[in-house]
């Protein structure tokens, strides 16, 4: 075994991570801008020298990658273990450092007395600047080891970070940002809903006071896990601060026998000294390059039509063919048949689990509809909710014991459905065979919308043990198995909208449904929040009905289309209700999206400064030769005219031609700046520093500008 180095350094082209191995356990010494070669490790150690303080330990307990009670740490331990002896005070010694390549390292530590091994794996992607970190625990002891908590590696952060941003929400209002100051003690968010959840997204930002979208230092953290989780940001009394993310394990959920291992979910982290938008660009590139499959990276994202808000459960073959005819004219490329196609499913009270085509509604099966859709040049997709069952179903009547439950506790009512126990092999086999049978019978089905519409409130499996951990892994495995059997099949992760949007599920799927709200004004904030970690290419964004079915708000077709245009665009309405103006406008918007979608789905995002009157952003390509910027008026300004739109991310030395590309027609009561600037040339410096005086528009108006570099 080779000697243990005093320090381990990982570099991307922009960042450096420096780990100290000088104590019993490894710890993060530095994470930030790439260090120059002449900046030596020992310099940082000397600069960080701390002294003994009154009424305290002579030497502070370290914030190691897994800070521990056995190390004397009085913050939150990264590992909480129990066996029949003394596992509670686990105190490992670093015994091996494995650096397989310059950007990846594994630290192996063992407590020989207790017979427990812990391995911290860190990988810093060289080009996207995102770190992926996980902790693996192995029981070497003959005694069973109960794991109460095993966090991903804990990262100490610099003391100039004074602010935190968390992400909260509810159904139809996900990804809402909440800003706060670091304060003495812990900021903790916990999720016990058995899925990622609407209200507790496992992401966190920390930043300096001066940080905004285009400048300042910030860190971003996201746990790639679709089950229960815990995140913590703690400021200790000694002034040190750290973040810690991990799976939240229910009591008795995880026990390791001798030789067995547990690996924590991966923590994804990055840093930027150019503001939040640059931080998001790191995460976006990582998703596109590392999480999405090679096939998905290469495929153009087709425009969707989803039947849900158009017909709900009122399925009729001729009606669906009529819808297909209408949306094909609009330019739709994928037709997705949502809930209501299977046996007994005339509402949300029955049928879940009986995954056979309802012969009363589809007497010839789905073939006539699929053939009609395919003949119109569209792919066909279909909706499943595999993890759920209605009590009113053949499946439940035959196997009432196949659901998650808790002995002597009444099942809570939740959308008339219960959760199937995926820790039972026979349940997984049933689901695989049922889904596979549909895909075999209808081989041109290219897409599954995979939904999950309730929380897991009683998470007990067939053995009476809490099962969210195994349930989540079984879900991933089932999705992978289905996709392996049917190459080219794409799967969307949906959970009543955005309740299962995370890097864990995205590594197995291809798209996420961002929110059940298709209200364009809601979507501006929802998609903005989601964009901190997810690129537009994976965010489902649909043009909803004229009057939103959730909020009741009426928004113009121009704005609805403009908001959906900057995600994975789709339509979700009854297209027969469109007026001639709305039809032509939507047709034009889809054509504009198609013209620019490769750019939209791959360009660099620049969110513009928050404004209580408008939500604005831009996309710029890598060589800064083309850009699209969107101004979205939410409500009328208190002044006579809006503020200027200051573009970002352009080449200040270059000259750009400025054009308004959306809407194609805009009614103005007097001539505005739009007429003056149309087709004119401006330097990037003028557009960024001086900005464009925005016109007076009605509230809820979207303007999209294109900038083409001339020289």
Q: 413, 458 in Cβ contact below 8 A?
A: no
Q: 310, 330 in Cβ contact below 8 A?
A: no
Q: 164, 181 in Cβ contact below 8 A?
A: yes
Enter the tokens of residue 52: 């003994």
Could you tell me the end-to-end alpha-carbon distance of the chain, in angstroms, rounded to an integer?
A: 59
Containing H/E element for 522? Answer: helix 520-530
Q: What is the mean pLDDT of residues 160-181?
A: 97
The separation between CA 376 and the C-alpha centre of its own chain, rounded to angstroms, equals: 33
Strand 116-124 relative to strand 104-111: parallel, antiparallel, unpaired?
Answer: antiparallel
Q: 6, 120 in Cβ contact below 8 A?
A: no
The yes-or-no verdict on residue 711 having pLDDT over 80 is no
Q: What is the pLDDT of residues 213-234, one digit of tens each?
A: 999 999 999 999 999 999 999 9
Containing H/E element for 673? Answer: helix 673-677
Q: Give the rounded percent of residues in the chain with a pLDDT score beyond 90.
A: 95
Residue 57 has what pLDDT?
85
Q: What is the pLDDT of residues 579-607, one digit of tens each?
A: 999 999 999 999 999 999 999 999 999 99
The yes-or-no verdict on residue 184 having pLDDT over 70 is yes
Q: 206, 485 in Cβ contact below 8 A?
A: no
Q: How many helices (H) and strands (E) does the chain have?
A: 15, 38
CB atoms within 10 A of CB 43: 11
Q: What is the mean pLDDT of residues 3-18?
A: 96
SS3 458: coil
The yes-or-no verdict on residue 565 having pLDDT over 80 is yes
SS3 481: helix
SS3 462: coil
List, in order, residues 6 or more apart from 64 with CB less than 8 Å away.
Answer: 23, 24, 25, 26, 27, 71, 73, 78, 154
The yes-or-no verdict on residue 2 having pLDDT over 90 is no
Q: Where are the domains of the chain?
A: 7-291, 302-321+330-513, 606-709
Rounded to the nearest 5 degrees, what angle is found at the Cα of 490, between the Cα atoms of 485 and 492?
125
- Domain formed by 606-709, architecture: Sandwich (2.60)
Q: What is the pLDDT of residues 79-127, one digit of tens each?
A: 999 999 999 999 999 999 999 888 999 999 999 999 999 999 999 999 9
Q: What is the pLDDT of residues 366-384, one digit of tens each?
A: 999 999 999 999 999 999 9
Containing H/E element for 97? Answer: strand 93-101
Best CATH choice for the domain 302-321+330-513 from the list 3.40.50.970, 3.30.420.130, 3.30.365.10, 3.20.20.70: 3.20.20.70
User: What secondary structure, in 3-state letters, does 322-354 show?
Assistant: HHHHHHHHHCCCEEEECCCCECCCCCCCECCCC
Of 516, 522, 574, 604, the active-site residue reads 516
CB atoms within 10 A of CB 137: 22
> What value does the mean pLDDT of the chain take?
97
Q: What is the mean pLDDT of residues 407-429?
A: 96
- Domain formed by 7-291, architecture: Distorted Sandwich (2.70)
Residue by residue, DSSP assigns 587-600 as HHHHHHHHHHHHHH
How far apart CA 68 and CA 502 sit, in angstroms, is 28
Q: 472, 505 in Cβ contact below 8 A?
A: no
Q: What is the mean pLDDT of residues 391-397?
A: 98
Q: 608, 645 in Cβ contact below 8 A?
A: yes
Q: How confident is the model at residue 1 (pLDDT cuts 50, 70, 90)?
A: low
Q: What is the mean pLDDT of residues 504-515?
A: 98
Residue by residue, DSSP assigns 402-436 as GB---TTSPPPPSTT-EEB-TTSHHHHHHHHHHHH
Enter the tokens of residue 580: 């001639």
451 among known catalytic residues: yes
List, in order, residues 6 or more apart from 398 with CB less than 8 Å away.
Answer: none
What phi, psi does 216 have (nearest 5°)? 105, 165
The separation between CA 475 and the C-alpha centre of its own chain, rounded to angstroms, equals: 17
Q: How confident is the model at residue 668 (pLDDT cuts 50, 70, 90)?
A: confident
C-alpha distances (whole Å) from 99 to each of 10, 85, 498 are 10, 34, 37
Of 451, 455, 502, 522, the active-site residue reads 451
The half-sphere exposure of 89 on its side-chain side, counting CA atoms within 13 A, is 6
Q: 673, 616 in Cβ contact below 8 A?
A: no
Q: 136, 264 in Cβ contact below 8 A?
A: yes
11 among known catalytic residues: no
Q: What is the mean pLDDT of residues 22-40?
A: 96
The DSSP bridge partners found for residue 103 are none
Residue 445, Ramachandran bin (φ over 0: left; ψ between -120 and 50: alpha; else beta): beta
Q: What is the pLDDT of residues 287-311, one digit of tens each?
A: 999 999 998 899 999 999 999 999 9
């Amino acid at each position: 075994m080779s000697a243990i180095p005093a320090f381990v350094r990982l570099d991307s082209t922009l960042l450096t991570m420096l780990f100290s191995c000088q104590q019993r356990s490894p710890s993060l010494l530095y994470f930030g801008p790439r260090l120059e070669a002449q900046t030596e490790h020992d310099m940082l150690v000397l600069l960080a020298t701390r002294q003994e303080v009154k009424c305290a330990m002579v030497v502070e307990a370290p914030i190691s990658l897994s800070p521990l009670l056995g190390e004397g740490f009085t913050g939150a331990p990264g590992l909480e273990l129990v066996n029949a002896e003394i596992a509670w005070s686990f105190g490992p010694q670093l015994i091996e450092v494995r650096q397989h390549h310059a950007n990846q390292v594994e630290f192996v530590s063992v407590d020989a007395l207790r017979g427990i091994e812990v391995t911290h794996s860190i990988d810093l992607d060289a080009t996207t600047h995102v770190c992926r970190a996980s902790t693996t625990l192995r029981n070497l002891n003959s005694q069973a080891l109960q794991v109460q908590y095993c966090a991903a590696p804990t990262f100490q952060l610099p003391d100039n970070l004074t602010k935190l941003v968390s992400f909260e929400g509810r159904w139809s209002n996900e990804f809402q940002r909440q800003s706060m100051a670091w304060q003495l003690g812990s900021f903790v968010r916990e999720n016990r809903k058995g899925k990622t959840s609407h209200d507790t997204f496992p992401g966190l930002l920390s930043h300096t006071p001066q940080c905004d979208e285009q400048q300042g230092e910030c860190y971003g953290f996201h746990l790639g896990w679709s089950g229960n989780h815990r995140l913590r940001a703690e400021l200790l009394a000694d002034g040190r601060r750290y973040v810690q993310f991990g799976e939240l394990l229910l009591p008795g959920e995880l026990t390791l026998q001798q030789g067995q291992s547990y690996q924590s979910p991966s923590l994804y982290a990055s840093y930027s000294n150019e503001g939040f938008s640059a931080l998001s660009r790191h995460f976006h590139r990582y998703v596109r390059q590392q999480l999405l499959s090679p096939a998905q990276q290469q495929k153009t994202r087709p425009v969707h039509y989803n039947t849900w808000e158009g017909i709900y459960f009122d399925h009729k073959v001729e009606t669906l063919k009529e819808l297909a005819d209408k949306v094909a004219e609009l330019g739709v490329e994928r037709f997705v048949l949502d809930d209501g196609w299977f046996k007994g499913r005339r509402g949300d009270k029955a049928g879940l689990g009986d995954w056979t085509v309802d012969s009363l509604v589809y007497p010839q099966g789905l073939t006539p509809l699929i053939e009609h859709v395919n003949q119109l040049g569209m792919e066909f997709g279909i909706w499943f909710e595999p993890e759920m069952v209605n009590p009113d179903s053949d499946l439940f009547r035959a196997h009432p014991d196949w659901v998650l439950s808790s002995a002597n506790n009444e099942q809570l009512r939740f959308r008339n459905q219960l959760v199937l126990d995926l820790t039972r092999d026979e349940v997984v086999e049933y689901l695989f065979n049922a889904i596979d049978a549909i895909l075999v019978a209808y081989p041109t089905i290219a897409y599954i919308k995979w939904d999950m519409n309730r929380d897991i409130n009683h998470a007990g499996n067939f053995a009476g043990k809490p099962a969210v951990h195994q349930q989540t892994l079984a879900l991933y495995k089932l999705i992978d198995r289905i996709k392996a059997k049917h190459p080219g099949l794409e799967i969307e992760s949906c959970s009543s909208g955005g309740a299962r949007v995370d890097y864990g599920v995205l590594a197995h799927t291809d798209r996420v449904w961002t929110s059940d709200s298709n209200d364009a004004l809601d979507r501006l904030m929802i998609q903005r929040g989601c964009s901190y970690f997810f690129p537009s290419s994976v965010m489902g964004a649909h043009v909803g009905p004229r009057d939103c079915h959730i909020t009741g708000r009426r928004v113009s077709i121009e704005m609805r289309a403009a908001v959906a245009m900057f995600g994975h665009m789709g339509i979700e309405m009854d297209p027969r209700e469109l007026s001639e103006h709305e039809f032509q406008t939507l047709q034009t918007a889809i054509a504009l999206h198609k013209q620019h979608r490769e750019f939209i789905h791959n360009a660099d995002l620049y969110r513009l400064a928050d404004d209580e009157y408008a939500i604005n952003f831009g996309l710029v390509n890598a060589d800064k030769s083309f850009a699209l910027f969107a101004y979205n008026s939410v409500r009328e300004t208190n002044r006579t005219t809006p503020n200027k739109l200051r573009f970002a991310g352009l080449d200040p030395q270059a000259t750009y031609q400025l054009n308004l590309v959306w809407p194609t027609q805009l009614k103005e009561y007097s001539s505005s700046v739009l007429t003056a600037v149309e087709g004119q040339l401006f330097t990037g410096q003028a557009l960024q520093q001086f900005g464009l005086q925005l016109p007076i528009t009605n509230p809820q108006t979207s303007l999209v500008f294109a900038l083409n570099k001339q020289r």
